[in-house]
Structure 1
């Protein structure tokens, strides 16, 4: 058994394999950090997460605060000019605030507030950092999947040029953190796949053959994947879809590796030797990670439903039992909240509308800009949460191409990308049909990296293998390069309405590529 069969060699040097993705990530970071403090106001749902994050810094739990969510500029001034924004309560429990999401994403926002203060740059800093790092992670994992540094850099570039990814990287919402941890978990599993197969090849070459194969020993990448996917769940509950799907996918990869090695009992070998460690890494580690993210709630008296006085009324055993009972009751309340969330919103949309960008979300559009702001009769300043259409429409075609590719070849890369896209998109259909839940386009952000991977995998097919004819390679490179250029131009055109640049209202309207992108013409 040759190593190349189970673990194909990487093209190019290790130096280029890092320098190229780092350069692309630097480009994406510039787009995300320049003017990060604009607009100087609380944007969209930042009004909740910014204050919750600050409360975590001050009290370890989320507490009720002052502030008018309907007036983002006044809300921002309240926060930055008066940091005593918490309600005054006789007891900590009286200020307990019911929150619908786990704490980790808010703790990440709090890091920026701790480093740079309670201002727009501070509360958006870690979101921009996570968005930038996700470009690097995607470039590296695409390189590993395709064995091509060029295609890896293409993946990072396309993600850097996606409008929705840019907007969420510049906004203190939770979704960019969910995307980051899901992508990081996937990347760790791809690295674990290579490492596990390398160990199988080494065993095959140096040990006596048996029917089931060897134990593969400690697998740090799989452990890291469990940590990352547990962190995804600790940002938003929807991370559980990816955790379950990726855990099954990892086990199937183990089975496939043992079968490709020619073992007589590959499935028994995987179940006997790979499943126990996989359960620890992909079940126990995520559970501990999720529970650890609630440390502030367990350690303080002011959390929602904490029952601190009751929990501390007896010994340590009762404290642990009663605390867990209160925590489980809290999680049930959160589940009920999400199941019944059906309040109308101007920019709500349905899952089947998302891939075609039929209804993006207006994060910011002040209605009182003076004419002097842009030198025209009417001015606009907008943050529109929308993907880059050229990329998204191209990704829709690429995903259809992956379906054909996977059916015809069972290529693991196509299967992995399709699985990730499916578990990040299809579950929302249930909530749309069964619960009529309020949902938004930006719920798609965890699958955007996998949409990019679909494009990159199809680009690899178009360009052909390294041993293809020069004409084929040149033609394919021209097609792929033209597509990347179109995405770049489309992104450049939309950029002013993604980052709150002040432009004329005529210029703003020209960038509303579909009239469904706006509720009504601004007055």
Structure 2
């Protein structure tokens, strides 16, 4: 495509192009060294911002919040026993402190060696326990440290992936910034749940998938060039066994699955995507039988490069259970009344048979979870954020704990920044339309992440699920939003008035985002505020 410009400041009609901000920015980045520095300065800057928003006062409140009652205590027992031990019931009589209160007060040895049935695999709890080993189990900072660090790292990965995907440091920095200041991402980095850990591994797997696509594209082009130069046919493509980034994707998503089973959905979607992208890359490279080559040749190879490593990673996460003697169902065949397998599976060791039975119990529990909860949210309404999760609230009266108003409160609510969330939903819809019109694979890649995290949950509309499950695909939503903002901004070569207007409007939007996050931040971090201030955040009745 030929350029319509005669220089950097005017088009062929002599009209100025770009904004004055572009002129200044062009002078700032006038050397290749400065451009290289900017490529990393943007993502690192938003990562530092994310770290500040997540790590400052991380130990507040010094209490087990929401499902921390499960994951913190399980994390502490699993690093000592190799499996989740049993804790005393959390309810007491006669006004005595609860188990959670006693744990927060430093009585962290209340668990017993009796095994506890759990609903999720062990890896996330090991990581939580690691933070507690570093900083102490009686330190709220310690039991939230892992999720805060991985939540911060997710911001960095999001920025770098978006930068690479759209070949724009600005778009990547915007994506990281939006995730850094969003409320749901902040809350899921400051409250010890498994979902923030899951999200880190999912985004890590997406980054590996993107690198594999670029790596494979180069290999296919080189293979075709060699065949053509040698006068050989290119009817069928090569078997690509050496795809290290595809192996890395399998490893990352195996770690995701070892944290929560929903990581399997991402493995399935990403694996199918790798086959479809192989088809398209082989067609572009000039391979005649590009579809059958990808499906019949490469797909089985790709399967062997991803699924076994993911399965082995998942199995390895249960090592503590295997080497223990008292884990749940560890002796199901011996003392639990279980029957050994017969026939062609009779050779399978008892330990694996016991483990498989345990997995079936976990599956049955998760599929059959229909216990009503006041903050459960129908997946059909996730995108409108109909019922975000309130994770903590303590009310105080005037003069109590420093309250200077007639009534105060401390809250942690999973309400996302509305100006980010709803704009991101609109951006995803816009990318669907743009992808259907332009077929840009970059748009499809972002939509893949959203689909993998969202669509499978539509099969479980009757199950007890929560709005904060959406954190697993929120990084892809903010990538979509950043991409659309990039389209709105246009290029430095656009006519000056149009470009200037776009920058002003985007600047206004980002200013509103920052002000909204500042306004909501006390509601994400349990800061004591007057009740009237707290009440002003419940814009929709179902948020309360």
State the TM-score, normalized to the length of structure 1: 0.90
Q: What's the C-alpha RMSD, in Å, of the aligned pairs?
A: 2.4
SS of corresponding position for 1:382: strand
Aligned to 2:246: 222
Cα distance change, pair 377–353 in 1 and its aligned pair in 2 (3 A) = same
**Kept in 2: contact 1:11–1:147 (CA 8 A):** no
Q: Does 1:188 align with 2:208?
A: yes
* Alignment correspondent of 2:55: 33
> How big is the shift at 1:384?
0.5
Question: Any idea what SS the aligned residue of 1:251 has?
Answer: helix
Paired with 2:464 and 2:268, the residues of 1 have a C-alpha distance of 24
**CA deviation map 1:208-257 (0-9, x unaligned):** 35222344452211111111111111111111111100100011111111
Name whichever of 176-185 and 274-283 sits farther off: 274-283
Q: Which residue of 1 aligns with 2:24?
A: none
User: Residue 79 of structure 1: CA displacement?
Assistant: 4.6
CA shift in 2, pair 1:320/1:153, >3 Å: same
Shift of residue 345, structure 1, vs aligned partner: 1.3
Tell whether 2:406 aligns with 1:382. Answer: no
**Alignment CA distance shift 1:384-1:319 (3 Å):** farther
> What's 1:357 paired with?
385
1:448-459 alignment to 2 at 5 Å?
A: 448-459=474-485
The answer on 1:492 being equivalent to 2:521 is no
Cα distance in 1 for residues equivalent to 2:36 and 2:152: 21
Q: Deviations over 1:442-490 (max 9, x none)?
A: 0111011111011112122222346544444433333333322222111
User: Which residue, 360, 366, 375 being the options, matches 1:338?
Assistant: 366
Q: Distance in 1 between matches of 2:38 and 2:346?
A: 57
Distance 1:207 1:96 in 2: 61
Secondary structure at 1:35's aligned position in 2? coil
**Alignment match, 2:536:** 510
Aligned length, in residue pairs: 496
The structure with the largest helix share of the pair is 1
- Per the alignment, residue 521 of structure 1 pairs with none
1:482–1:72 Cα change, 3 Å: farther
CA distance in 1, matches of 2:446, 2:246: 18
Map 1:138-177 → 2, pairs under 5 A: 138-177=158-197
Match status 1:327 vs 2:324: no
Q: What pairs up with 1:45-60 in 2 under 5 angstroms?
A: 45-60=67-82
C-alpha displacement of 1:161 = 1.2
Question: What's the counterpart of residue 156 of structure 2?
Answer: 136
Which residue of 100, 104, 107 corresponds with 1:82? Answer: 107
Q: Secondary structure of the residue that 1:365 maps to in structure 2? A: strand
**Helix, strand or coil: the match of 1:179?**
helix
Aligned match of 2:44: 22
- For structure 1, the 5+ residue unaligned runs are 1-9, 519-523
Q: Is this contact kept in 1: 2:58–2:141, CA < 8 A? A: yes
Distance change (3 Å), C-alpha of 1:72 and 1:242: farther
Asked if 1:254 corresponds to 2:278, the answer is: yes
Residues 395 and 455 in structure 1, CA contact (< 8 A), matched pair in contact too: yes
> Which of structures 1 and 2 has the bigger CA Rg?
2
Q: 1:110 aligns with which of 126, 129, 135?
A: 129
Q: Distance in 2 between matches of 1:129 and 1:514?
A: 32
Q: Give per-residue Cα distances to partners, 1:66-101, cap 9 Å, x unaligned.
A: 2526999861433542222113xxxx5xx1110000
Is 2:305 aligned against 1:277? no
User: Which position in structure 2 is the counterpart of 1:419?
Assistant: 448
1:476 correspondence with 2:502 = yes
TM-score (ref. length: structure 2): 0.86
Structure 2 alignment gaps of length 5 or more: 1-31
* Mapping of residues 401-416 of structure 1, within 5 Å: 401-416=430-445
Distance in 2 (CA, whole Å) between partners of 1:123 and 1:416 is 34
